[in-house]
């Protein structure tokens, strides 16, 4: 099943989903003295990544929030994404370190896919990493035909913006050294694009670099799948 269809099936009513997202994200403050101040009641951090994202020499943090299943009496932060609650909703919160604590750098209900959005292959969320100040989010899912999505966000003066994206569709089985694939990698800062297609017969039918028209960058909060 197509990844976009899986996501839309899970979120069967856009109005209901939007209302829930707004309710959760509205409880996240603009500033706080500790990370826990940015975690709404009933949610917990299930994944995090640290690194200097606004080039001020301080270590910032990106956290993924979800309702979690905890054993009675266990109040420790759950670092295992596989233990999300059944509904699988996840929220990304990016915090910038300050001299007095933390400030909200960005938040999103769509940047990290839900636990059940990966199809037969399972949970699609792979990781969040900070590489040279850029926040990189990776997803992977599907069944016989699998897909992978990598998005890259950078803090640019006032907010986080989507600066790059890689989309790939792959066959789970193949008979040649190189996996049959359709891949598109786009640098949204420069407009540079790379496209590659390898058939099931192991033929390269496309291996091309070109450019796409540059458009205004999209803020993290406005990225929609």
Summarize pLDDT for 92-128 with one digit per residue, the tens.
Answer: 999 999 999 999 999 999 999 988 888 777 789 999 9
The span from the CA of 189 to the CA of 205, in Å, is 27
Instruction: Give the pLDDT score at 1.
Output: 42
In terms of pTM, does the model score above 0.75? yes
Percent of the chain with pLDDT over 90: 60
Judged by average pLDDT, the poorest of 55-64, 66-75, 139-148, 205-214 is: 66-75
Pairwise pLDDT comparison (205 vs 166), residue with the higher score: 166
Instruction: Give the pLDDT score at 12.
Output: 40
Please tell me the number of Cα atoms within 13 Å of 92 on its side-chain side: 26
Percent of the chain with pLDDT over 70: 79
Q: How many CB atoms lie within 10 A of CB 125?
A: 26
Q: Is the pLDDT of residue 17 over 90?
A: no
């Amino acid at each position: 099943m197509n990844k976009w269809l899986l996501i839309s099936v899970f979120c069967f009513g856009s109005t209901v989903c939007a209302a829930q997202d707004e309710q959760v994200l509205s409880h996240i403050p603009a500033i706080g003295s500790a990370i826990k101040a940015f975690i709404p009641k009933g949610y917990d951090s299930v994944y995090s990544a640290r690194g200097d994202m606004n080039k001020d020499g301080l270590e910032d943090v990106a956290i993924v929030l979800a309702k979690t299943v905890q054993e009675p009496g266990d109040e420790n932060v759950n670092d295992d994404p596989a233990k999300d609650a059944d509904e699988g909703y996840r929220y990304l919160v990016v915090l910038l370190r300050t001299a007095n604590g933390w400030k909200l750098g960005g938040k999103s209900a769509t940047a990290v896919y839900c636990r059940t959005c990966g199809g037969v292959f399972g949970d699609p969320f792979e990781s969040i990493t900070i590489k040279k100040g850029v926040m990189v989010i990776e997803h992977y899912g599907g069944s016989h035909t699998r897909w992978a999505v990598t998005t890259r966000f950078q803090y640019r003066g006032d907010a986080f913006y989507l600066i790059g994206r890689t989309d790939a569709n792959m066959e789970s089985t193949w008979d040649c050294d190189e996996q049959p694939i359709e891949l598109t990698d786009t640098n949204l800062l420069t407009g540079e694009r790379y496209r590659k297609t390898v058939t099931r017969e192991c033929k390269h039918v496309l291996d091309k670099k070109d450019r796409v028209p540059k458009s205004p960058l999209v803020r993290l909060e406005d990225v929609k799948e």
